[in-house]
Structure 1
Amino acid sequence: MAINLQQTSARLNFYMRIKELDVYQLSVLTQTPPETVGCILQGEEYSMDDLVALLKKLPDLNSRWVIYGEGNVFKTEGQAGEHALPPGLKKDRAAYLAEMQSLLHQLEEIEKQKQQQSNLDQLRSKIRDLTKHI
């Protein structure tokens, strides 16, 4: 599965908005150079080692969600999918978080559909080109 740097960036930015962190605060918290954090947050080329090192310093953040979009923003605790609220997240913000996560998932689905449409258009173009030679 390919990793989309822009989506990874969007997810990490989403986490930062929830936690009310800026680039400098995230840099200090994760002991990551601000330039590296900036590259990750802008979806620019960066080393996956840098991303993994940053994610390891955020124990409440679900790294599979950041990288692949799988699961929830925060790591879960308990059984049957009970979600522990991260420290500092008020209960009224939990509903907001769930709604935002749903919207982010919908945006990812739309992006996938756009990519599939683009692939379909390319295939149609190739078929047209091939049928011209028949």
Structure 2
Amino acid sequence: MAINLQQTSARLNFYMRIKELDVYQLSVLTKTPPDVVGCILQGEEYCMDDLVTLLKQLPDLNSRWVIYGEGNVFKCEEKEGEHNPPAGLKKDRSAYLAEMQALLHQLEEIEKQKQQQTNLDHLRSRIRDLTKHI
């Protein structure tokens, strides 16, 4: 499964908004240089070891969710029948639901752009093939 850097960035940004962290705070919390955190948050190319190292320093964050979009934002370590909100999560759920909807919309747009890019690449290839015969 390929990793989409833009989606990984969007998910990590979402986590930061929930936890009310800025780049500097995340950098200090994870002991990661601010420029590396910036690259990850911008969806730029970076070493996956840097991302894994950063994620290891955030014990409540589900790294599979950040990287692949699988599961929940937070790791669940609750007993059956219990529901404990993650530490640092505000009580105002409506704001987070709205934020989640915005994130999902953003992820859908990224997927659409990715599909459009694939279509453009296919059309460009087809045009090159056709111009060879002229």
TM-score range for the pair, normalised by the shorter chain length:
0.7 to 0.9
Aligned-pair Cα RMSD in Å? 2.9
Aligned residue pairs total 133
Relative contact order (C-alpha < 8 Å, sep 6+): which is higher? Answer: 2
Unaligned runs of 5+ in 2: none
CA deviations 1:34-71 (Å, max 9, x no partner) are 22212212222211011001101101111111112222
How far apart, CA to CA, are the structure 1 residues paired with 2:95 and 2:81? Answer: 18
Structure 1 90/74 Cα, relative in aligned 2: closer, same or farther at 3 Å? same
Residue 39 of structure 1 is matched in structure 2 by 39
How far apart, CA to CA, are the structure 1 residues paired with 2:23 and 2:73? Answer: 19
Residue 85 of structure 2 is matched in structure 1 by 85
TM-score by structure 1 length? Answer: 0.77
Instruction: Choose 99-108 or 74-83, whichever is displaced more.
Output: 74-83
TM-score by structure 2 length? Answer: 0.77
Structure 1 66/81 Cα, relative in aligned 2: closer, same or farther at 3 Å? farther
Q: Percent identity, please.
A: 64
How far apart, CA to CA, are the structure 2 residues paired with 1:46 and 1:127? Answer: 32
Residue 6 of structure 1 is matched in structure 2 by 6
How far apart, CA to CA, are the structure 2 residues paired with 1:62 and 1:36? Answer: 20
